[in-house]
Structure 1
Amino acid sequence: MLGRFITFEGGEGSGKSTQARLLAAQLSRVGISTEITREPGGSPFAEALRAVILDPNMPQHSALSEALLFYSARADHLDNTVRPALNAGQWVICDRFIDSTRVYQGEAGGLPGEIIDVLNHMVVSPTFPDLTFILDIPAELGLGRAHSRRVDKVNPDTEADAYEKRDLAFHWKLREAFREIAAQEPERCVLIDATQEPDAVFAAVWRAVEARLLAPAR
């Protein structure tokens, strides 16, 4: 029996990684084996590309060039991490996936949606998420959280990555694009207010998992 594929999406500092970890822990408590992963990254080759993609000193480049890097990483991630886990019956929880490409390189970067559709058909199909959580947060608050997360680490001089460094208008465009995806695909996506405390956010996440993925199996 195939596992389930759950993704977390949202702007910078929205709490995706935290919620992914909380969900993996809760699923484990109810007896469901999980694989937690991320994009870009999630496999050795994809992690090497992650370092390139997020390099704050990356030279200027087109949205298409950027998307092709993401899909190169995604192809390897799917082949070596996501699909083997799903085929083994595990649930896969991924911090970012195809919606981030549609938002960052598409809506905010200007890459036509038709190109992203073709890349999804070539690389992703048929491994699309069963459920996607879009964590919604005002851009200023999310960027503030992302900054706090960096300076709280051992090295307080950690530089913002290539995306965090972009201007506020870019990040507001991201937020609106994520909200639009949630409105267009309510059968797959759940929009959650990420300004709440992490426990409150997770309560909403778990209610949706129970209703959409666990209840039908009971």
Structure 2
Amino acid sequence: MQRGLFITFEGGEGAGKSSQIRILADTLRARGYDVLVTREPGGSPGAEAIRHVLLSGAAEPFGPAMEAILFAAARSDHVEQVIRPALESGTMVLCDRFMDSSRVYQGVTGGLDPAFMAALERVTVNEMIPNLTLILDIDPVEGLDRANARRGEGQADRYEKETLDIHRRRRDAFRDIARSDPERCKVIDASESEEEVAATVAGHVADLLEQYEMVAAEE
């Protein structure tokens, strides 16, 4: 059985990742693919428990290194219990955030040592590198406005509440990742309408699917 494709969505707060994942999942299912939609932190029972600790801010007093370790524990469980089995069964996996978010949130704006972050990533990702990463790029002011509107009267989570300067640094960090790995990472202007963003997403995924289906035809 041909292995499925692993597509991750990254970007700052309010970039519209969840909506674009839903649209892409519907499109792929309409084409006959089995699709799994998942998220980080979370995606497996163990990782979802850690998600609550992280997003509530309960781990914040222990510092970014502890948060990075908790993210790593959640990711390891998610990869081995959910993502890897799904891909091996031929399922297309769409994930809201993955390793690049840790590189940005804990590594760049958390100020953690790059060697420490690389070691955590190597162990927890365990060669499960995405086939395609779509970075939804938006000005942090607009993104936070969207996030606030979506949340309504609810409380901002651990990361939404941080300063505008930090959100801008994260945007720059995601762009840097894309520049360093242009084959895997595609930057998409998330300030456009939902339909326009979805069309751009579909175009990038179509290129990947063309290669995927050519391999399937040759086997």
How does the TM-score come out when normalised to structure 2? 0.94
What is the aligned length? 213
1:148 corresponds to: 149
CA–CA separation in structure 2 for the residues paired with 1:216 and 1:53: 36
Displacement, 1:214?
A: 2.5
Contact 1:35 1:91 in 2 (8 A): yes
Cα 1:24–1:170 shift into 2, 3 Å: same
Question: CA-to-partner distance for each residue in 1:110-163, whole Å, 9 max, x for gaps?
Answer: 012211211121111211100000000001100000000011xxxxx3100010
Q: Percent identity?
A: 47
**Residue 176 (structure 1) aligned to one of 168, 172, 183:** 172
CA–CA separation in structure 1 for the residues paired with 2:122 and 2:176: 21
2:204 corresponds to: 208
CA–CA separation in structure 1 for the residues paired with 2:19 and 2:114: 30
Cα 1:212–1:149 shift into 2, 3 Å: same
Displacement, 1:100?
A: 0.2
Matches within 5 A, 1:24-103: 24-56=25-57, 58-103=59-104
Contact 2:60 2:67 in 1 (8 A): no
CA–CA separation in structure 2 for the residues paired with 1:67 and 1:209: 30
RMSD value, Cα: 1.2
SS of the counterpart of 2:61?
coil
Displacement, 1:24?
A: 0.7
CA–CA separation in structure 1 for the residues paired with 2:135 and 2:119: 23
**Residue 165 (structure 1) aligned to one of 161, 166, 184:** 161
Contact 1:135 1:193 in 2 (8 A): yes
Question: CA-to-partner distance for each residue in 1:48-104, whole Å, 9 max, x for gaps?
Answer: 100000004654232111100001100111111101100110010000000000000
Runs of 5+ in structure 2 lacking a partner?
Answer: 215-219
Contact 1:56 1:159 in 2 (8 A): no
